[in-house]
Structure 1
Amino acid sequence: MKSTSELRRRFLRDGVSAGLVLPLLGTGLLHPERVLASEWKSRAFTARSTAEALRQLAVSNATESRDITIIAPEIAENGAKVDVEITSNLPGARSLLLLADRNPMPLCAEINFAGNALPYAKLQIKLAESTQVRALIRTSDGRTHIAIREIKVTLGGCGG
């Protein structure tokens, strides 16, 4: 059973929160039914194969590029935590996709860039088993470039 002071604190905390949100609802500045973030690509992130994930993201053909670098261990001792670093010198890069082919759900990340940014990302991913990791860069001219790296896993992370 909760003490009176705990209940009082919770009541005050929740009351203050509601007091801050209610005026925004009343003025029309806050629309609870509308999501202000970009639409989450649930079909791509829950796809069970690399081909399906790429189809959901409308990636049909990618050109292999030496301008994309994947820095990752050749052998990962533990698939539960694998550091992957991706850099690119491609001009006009708009997004970076990272996929692990043999994961139960291959799409690991999608990162969007604005302006003239040169893509750079350092991520920790889980790998179910030894697999190819693919980094795809989409450019402002509509082209997609790809780099592939094989990572061997000695102890699985996603499934066992």
Structure 2
Amino acid sequence: MITPRRLLLASPALLLLPRGVHATPEDMAEAVRGFTGGAPMTRGRVALDISPLVENGNTVPLSVIVDSPMTEADHVRAIAVFNERNPQPHVITAQIGPRAGRAMLATHIRLATSQTLLAVASLSDGSFWSDQAQVVVTLAACIEG
């Protein structure tokens, strides 16, 4: 049981914990391989829309649009977003299908620091398409302490 006394005694040890732990480009590549199963990606058909300069990394608008007819025969199955410097390299995966009408994802994310983001779309024919963006963050998020 954690008592106030034990918490106080442990507090100097808490100062020694690593701060600002970030993923690496290698972590992002591994997360992308997990999504694609190691299949090759082609640049194009995906448009990652995010501001290249972000003042506050705590809430950053992001959208991904994939060029697809969204028919039963030809549609987007999933859209995923990855980053190379946040604590977790896999930001989000949205599962969609032909009934969605449009292959689009819009959300807000947190960014720990300036970094590269990658959007990947999985299509019904088994192909993977991507787009990436460089983002400069002036006030970082995802940093403890």
Same fold (TM over 0.5): yes
Counterpart position of 2:135? 151
| Aligned counterparts, 1:74-153, within 5 A | 74-91=52-69, 92-115=75-98, 117-153=101-137
RMSD value, Cα? 1.7
For residue 54 of structure 1, report the CA deviation from its aligned partner.
1.9
Q: Secondary structure at the match of 1:77?
A: strand
The one-letter code matched in structure 2 to 1:86 is V
For residue 59 of structure 1, report the CA deviation from its aligned partner.
4.0
Counterpart position of 1:63? 42
Per-residue CA deviations over 1:90-116 (Å, capped at 9, x if unaligned) read 341110001112112111000011225
For residue 52 of structure 1, report the CA deviation from its aligned partner.
1.8
Q: TM-score w.r.t. structure 1 length?
A: 0.65
State whether residues 94 and 137 of structure 1, in contact with CA within 8 Å, keep that contact through their aligned partners in structure 2. yes
Q: Secondary structure at the match of 2:33?
A: helix
Distance 2:34 2:106 in 1: 24
- Structure with the largest fraction of strand: 2
Tell me whether 1:51 sits opposite 2:29 in the alignment.
yes
State whether residues 32 and 82 of structure 2, in contact with CA within 8 Å, keep that contact through their aligned partners in structure 1. no
Q: TM-score w.r.t. structure 2 length?
A: 0.71
Per-residue CA deviations over 1:42-92 (Å, capped at 9, x if unaligned) read xxxxx8711221232224321101x21122111110111110011111341
Q: Secondary structure at the match of 2:77?
A: strand
**Structure 1 gap ranges (5+):** 1-46
The one-letter code matched in structure 2 to 1:127 is L
For residue 119 of structure 1, report the CA deviation from its aligned partner.
1.1
The one-letter code matched in structure 1 to 2:102 is L
Distance 1:64 1:127 in 2: 23
Q: Which runs of 4+ in 1 moved over 4 A?
A: none
Q: Comparing both chains, which one has the higher relative contact order based on Cα–Cα distances under 8 Å and sequence gaps of 6 or more?
A: 2
**Structure 2 gap ranges (5+):** 1-22, 70-74
Radius of gyration: which is bigger?
1
